[in-house]
Chains A and B, each alone.
Chain A
Amino acid sequence: MPLGDCWKNLSWFYYQYLLVTALYMLEPWERTVFNSLLISVLGMAVYTGYVFMPQHIMAILHYFEVVQ
């Protein structure tokens, strides 16, 4: 069952993430706080990248006179 395997794999990765960041030791509400902070920061980074990357790339290419 590939979906089951995928779920097990994801669950193992989540467990490793909990162990490495020491979230394993925290209470569930603390995990929620940390995860939401992390996801919001990552989400903001991804959004900023999505909005501004074309402009940045055009500016770099313009600087190196690859495109006018």
Chain B
Amino acid sequence: MTESSGSKLLNGEACQRTLRGKNAGKNGFVKNHCVFEHPRKYRRPTERSQNAAPNSSLYKKPFSESFEETPLLVAVLTYMGYGILTIFGYFRDFLRHWNIEKCHIAHEREQQKDFVPLYQDFENFYTRNLYMRIRDNWNRPICSVPGAKVDLVERVTHNYNWTFEHTGKVVKDVINMGSYNYLGFAENTGACASAAIETTHAYGVGVASTRCEIGNLDIHEELEQLVARFLGVESSMAFGMGFATNSMNIPPLTGKGCLILSDELNHASLVLGARLSGSTIRVFKHNNMQSLEKLLRDAIAHGQPRTHRPWKKILIVVEGIYSMEGSIVRLPEVIALKKRYKAYLYLDEAHSIGALGPNGRGVVDYFGLDPKDVDIMMGTFTKSFGAAGGYIGGRKELIDYLRCHSHSALYATSMSPPVAQQIISSMKIIMGEDGSTLGKDRLRQLSENTTYFRRKLREMGFIIYGNDDSPVVPLMLYMPAKIGAFGREMLKRNIGTVVVGFPATPIIESRARFCVSAAHTREMLDTALRAISEVGDLLQLKYSRRERPLSTPGWTYEESLLQD
């Protein structure tokens, strides 16, 4: 770990020496002025772990992320498991085709059998034969507030997950490790809920128009001013839906002749918005600044594909916290690159707003940077504020332009008044303007819970991805059967978790994703950790090969297999 950071610093210095050397004017000039040099080609391929940044002066505190590599035996067994499932999938499809077995899922009618097949691609095969078998882990109906504890509707299936029936019973007080409730504002009592009720009495629930027509309420104006003050930008605009904020606001900003540089693991809304805009999209490796710099340099040096004209604008699209990996964007380096190469930055803080930073102002606050450096700050109100919707913040000219040209402002209904009031109250609590210390307490509680939870899980021997400060905690499962088994076993122990497999993650890297909340007390976390450890022992999930304190009792089968 230290050797790779050392080598980066060394190459950085070597880089500057060549600047003043003889090679300054030769061919390959483009390669000699890199801010972040490529690391040496040969590196021990045990872990990808970046502890110290190459330009450590940009970071005020250590940036420690780790993505431990998949153990080889586990990868082989995972592929074998998927192979067996695929063979049985083909077998069942054969039985369905020859009508030996009834087909429960959508299929073509008799008259359409000779047409181009609709359901034979891999996505449909996967849904029919793999997803359906463990479908009871998803779409579980909830019948209470999704706070720290939640009530679930009990379901049974008599035909292996093709249909479900409600038994009429309710599973009460399931510890909720899946909701994006980072600051615990998903509650039905308290100041926010009372304010929302009063607003409902005043305004009703529906707005019945778009922002541009007659749906612009004074509560929207108040909300936007508050959001601008919260973020530290000149002006902001709020939308009714977070997904629509991304997908409907990137098209007005860029068009043909513009370049979008987007991270490998960007959310579907960003990808959709980028594709809708019609710009050229180039993808850089996840959180990899060398890859981004190379793309920027190539874009500026070579211009547009055939005409070699300069790009009209270059927009770098990154997220604050990536929810599947738990990693935090390297914002200081992105801003340094953006300033150097004169590109624009679009930062999607869906998960990080309210959850990171000493004042809860997101990833910009976490790194101690100036909000004016980020051109377009986007975020959602769904996660930390307990409401729904999204916002975009930036300079006044930008927001005024978006008010007239955004598809969402012209065609989508504006935010509902009680939702807007919930955001206003929760934001005031976070900023401390309601006169109490509730905001500060919750921020501190979230950061303590995150550190405790992550440390404990690492100590138990699980492979946990991501940055040590991110409240999103992915725990690696890898094998397909363990996805279903983990979800079911945790529910038996009264803990609700979200398990994720393909296509949201790469096919062998399926995981369970925990979202730590400020509403979780230490006892709840301890209960959850005990249950996770139990299930981890039962399913043999403790794959990590790093040294851990010798408090694990006895001999575990997987450990002996992995000591090769």
Interface string of B458-493 (1 = CB under 8 A from A): 000000000000000000000111101100000000
Give B557's nearest chain A residue, CB to CB: A16
Flag whether A47 is at the interface (Cβ < 8 A).
no
Whether B85 contacts A22 by the Cβ 8 Å rule is yes
Flag whether B194 is at the interface (Cβ < 8 A).
no
CB < 8 Å neighbour of A25 from B80, B480, B538, B557:
B480
Number of A-B residue pairs, CB cutoff 8 Å, is: 45
Flag whether A5 is at the interface (Cβ < 8 A).
no
**Contacts A25-B133, A27-B160 given; does A19 touch B482 at CB 8 Å:** yes
Residues of A near B9 (CB, < 8 A) are none
Chain B interfacial residues counted at CB < 8 A: 21
Whether A22 contacts B160 by the Cβ 8 Å rule is no
Flag whether A20 is at the interface (Cβ < 8 A).
yes
Give B74's nearest chain A residue, CB to CB: A20
Flag whether A68 is at the interface (Cβ < 8 A).
no
Chain A interfacial residues counted at CB < 8 A: 14
Flag whether A14 is at the interface (Cβ < 8 A).
no
Whether B160 contacts A20 by the Cβ 8 Å rule is no
**Contacts A25-B133, A26-B133 given; does A20 touch B77 at CB 8 Å:** yes
Interface string of A14-33 (1 = CB under 8 A from B): 01101111111111001000
Flag whether B540 is at the interface (Cβ < 8 A).
yes
B95 to chain A, nearest CB (A): 11
CB < 8 Å neighbour of A24 from B80, B88, B484:
B484
Residues of B near A25 (CB, < 8 A) are 85, 130, 133-134, 480-481, 484
B104 to chain A, nearest CB (A): 13
Give A22's nearest chain B residue, CB to CB: B81
B55 to chain A, nearest CB (A): 44
| B window 535-564: CB within 8 A of A | 538-540, 557
Whether A22 contacts B479 by the Cβ 8 Å rule is yes
Binding site for A on B (CB under 8 A): 77, 80-82, 84-85, 88, 130, 133-134, 160, 479-482, 484-485, 538-540, 557
Binding site for B on A (CB under 8 A): 15-16, 18-27, 30, 34
Could you list some 23 contacts between A and B, CB below 8 A? A16-B557, A18-B481, A19-B481, A19-B482, A19-B485, A20-B77, A20-B81, A20-B479, A21-B81, A22-B82, A22-B85, A22-B481, A23-B481, A24-B481, A24-B484, A24-B485, A25-B85, A25-B130, A25-B480, A25-B481, A26-B85, A26-B88, A34-B84
